C-alpha cells in the first residue's frame, strides 16, 4: 500500500510539473526576477535634489512636483542591451498637466531614446500611457493607450526589454508594444549608443492633458510619484562603447527572447483592440505612406 501511495504521489507531482511547464510555455518566458536594491546602488538625482524623498533605507523614494520645480534621477551607468524595470505608483488625484517619465536615452543630436510617458488627468479620468522610440535623433513614433487599472492605487511594473532583435515595452509583464530591429530594410535601430536610464516628474500642461487644454491645478501640489525596485539587469558599457562585451551570452540574447511567443502576441493584440487610443502607424494624415517598421512590428 505504501508503494502504491508513493507511486500515486509521484505521478501527481509529475503531472503538476508537466502542467506548469506547459503553462510556462504558453505564457511566454518571463525575465529573470529582479533583486531588491536601494536607490543609491544604481541611481543618482539629476536635478532638484530636495524634491526627492527617501524611505525604508532608500528602498523607496518619492518624486515631488510643485509650482517651483519638478525633479528626476538617472542611472549611474550607461548600458547596451538588457532588461530595465521600475515599480511606480503614479500621482494620485487631479494630476492633469503632469508627466511622469521613465525612459532610456543616449547623448548627442542623433540620440536614441525609448520612452514611457504617463500623462496625468483630471480626477476620475484614466491615465494615458504614451510610448515613443527615437533612433538616430528621429522620433515621431508615438503610441497611446489607456491603462486597464488605476496606476495610482498600487505599484505596477513598467519594463523595457532591449536586445539586438527588438525593443519591447511591458506593463506588469504584458507586452504593449514591440519595435523590431529592421536594419536590413535600412531602418535605424538603437545598436551602438549606450543609454542611461532616466525618470522624472515635471509640469507639461502646454501639451500633456487634452493637448494642453487642461492646466495644472497648483492648489493640489505637491504632486507625488512613488518608486521602488531599483535593480538593473543590463550590460554596462562606457559611453564610447560600440558593443557589449558579453553580447550573445546574456539571458536576453537567447533564442526564447528573440521575439514574443504566441501567447504574448495575443496579449499585445488584446491591448491593441481594447486600450489603444492613438497609433502613429494608423495616422494617415501624418504618414500617408505607412512607416515600414509598422508592418514588421505587427502594428499595422
Residue with cell 491615465: 127
Calpha distance 181→25 (Å, rounded):
24
Closest CA to 258 of 135, 168, 172, 175: 168
pLDDT greater than 80 at residue 33: no
pLDDT band at 34 (very low <50, low <70, confident <90, very high): low
With beta carbons less than 8 A apart as the criterion, state whether 169 and 160 touch.
Answer: yes
pLDDT band at 4 (very low <50, low <70, confident <90, very high): very low
Active-site residue identified among 117, 214, 245, 256 = 117
Whether 117 is a known active-site residue: answer: yes
pLDDT at 284: 95
| Backbone angles phi and psi of 120, in degrees to 5 | -65, 170
Whether 142 is a known active-site residue: answer: no
What burial letters (b/e) apply to 234-254, b meaning 16+ CB within 10 Å?
Answer: bbbbeeebeebeeeeebebbe
pLDDT greater than 70 at residue 164: yes
Please write the tens of the pLDDT for every residue from 57-116. 999 999 999 999 999 999 999 999 999 999 999 999 999 999 999 999 998 889 999 999
pLDDT at 300: 60
Calpha distance 276→129 (Å, rounded):
10
The residues spanned by each domain of the chain are: 44-297
Active-site residue identified among 62, 110, 113, 142 = 113
Instruction: Tell the CATH topology of 44-297.
Output: Jelly Rolls (2.60.120)
With a CB cutoff of 8 Å and minimum separation 6, the contacts of 171 are 129, 147, 156, 157, 158, 159
Please write the tens of the pLDDT for every residue from 227-284. 999 999 999 987 778 788 777 889 999 999 999 999 999 999 999 999 999 999 999 9
Calpha distance 157→159 (Å, rounded):
6
This prediction has a pTM of 0.88
pLDDT greater than 60 at residue 197: yes
Residue with the bigger pLDDT between 298 and 197: it is 197
Task: Give 148's strand partners.
Answer: none
pLDDT greater than 90 at residue 25: no
| Strands, E assignment, the chain | 43-47, 52-55, 60-65, 71-75, 78-89, 98-105, 113-119, 128-134, 143-146, 156-162, 166-171, 174-180, 196-203, 223-228, 232-237, 276-279
Give me the percent of the chain exceeding a pLDDT of 90: 71
Please write the tens of the pLDDT for every residue from 40-53. 999 999 999 999 99
With a CB cutoff of 8 Å and minimum separation 6, the contacts of 253 are 81, 163, 164, 247
pLDDT at 32: 64
Calpha distance 114→197 (Å, rounded):
9
Amino acid at each position: 500500500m505504501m508503494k502504491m501511495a508513493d507511486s500515486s504521489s509521484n505521478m501527481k507531482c509529475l503531472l503538476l510539473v508537466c502542467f506548469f511547464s506547459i503553462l510556462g510555455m504558453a505564457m511566454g518566458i518571463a525575465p529573470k526576477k529582479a533583486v531588491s536594491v536601494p536607490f543609491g546602488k544604481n541611481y543618482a538625482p539629476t536635478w532638484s535634489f530636495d524634491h526627492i524623498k527617501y524611505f525604508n533605507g532608500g528602498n523607496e523614494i518619492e518624486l515631488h512636483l510643485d509650482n517651483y520645480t519638478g525633479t528626476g534621477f538617472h542611472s549611474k551607468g550607461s548600458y547596451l542591451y538588457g532588461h530595465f524595470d521600475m515599480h511606480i505608483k503614479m500621482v494620485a488625484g487631479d494630476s492633469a498637466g503632469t508627466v511622469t517619465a521613465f525612459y532610456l536615452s543616449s547623448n548627442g543630436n542623433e540620440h536614441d531614446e525609448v520612452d514611457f510617458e504617463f500623462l496625468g488627468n483630471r480626477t476620475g479620468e484614466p491615465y494615458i500611457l504614451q510610448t515613443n522610440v527615437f533612433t538616430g535623433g528621429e522620433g515621431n513614433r508615438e503610441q497611446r493607450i489607456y491603462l486597464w487599472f488605476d496606476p495610482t492605487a498600487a505599484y505596477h511594473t513598467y519594463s523595457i526589454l532591449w536586445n539586438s532583435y527588438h525593443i519591447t515595452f511591458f506593463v506588469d509583464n504584458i507586452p504593449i508594444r514591440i519595435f523590431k530591429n529592421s536594419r536590413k530594410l535600412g531602418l535605424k535601430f538603437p545598436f551602438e549608443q549606450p543609454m542611461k536610464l532616466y525618470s522624472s516628474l515635471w509640469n507639461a500642461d502646454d501639451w500633456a492633458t487634452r493637448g494642453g487644454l487642461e492646466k495644472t491645478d497648483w492648489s493640489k501640489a505637491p504632486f507625488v510619484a512613488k518608486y521602488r525596485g531599483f535593480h538593473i539587469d543590463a550590460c554596462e558599457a562606457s559611453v564610447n562603447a560600440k558593443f557589449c562585451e558579453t553580447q550573445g551570452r546574456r539571458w536576453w540574447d537567447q533564442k526564447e527572447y528573440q521575439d514574443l511567443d504566441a501567447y504574448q502576441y495575443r496579449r499585445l493584440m488584446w491591448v491593441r483592440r481594447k486600450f489603444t487610443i492613438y497609433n502613429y502607424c494608423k495616422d494617415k494624415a501624418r504618414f500617408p505612406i505607412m512607416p515600414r517598421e509598422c508592418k514588421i512590428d505587427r502594428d499595422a
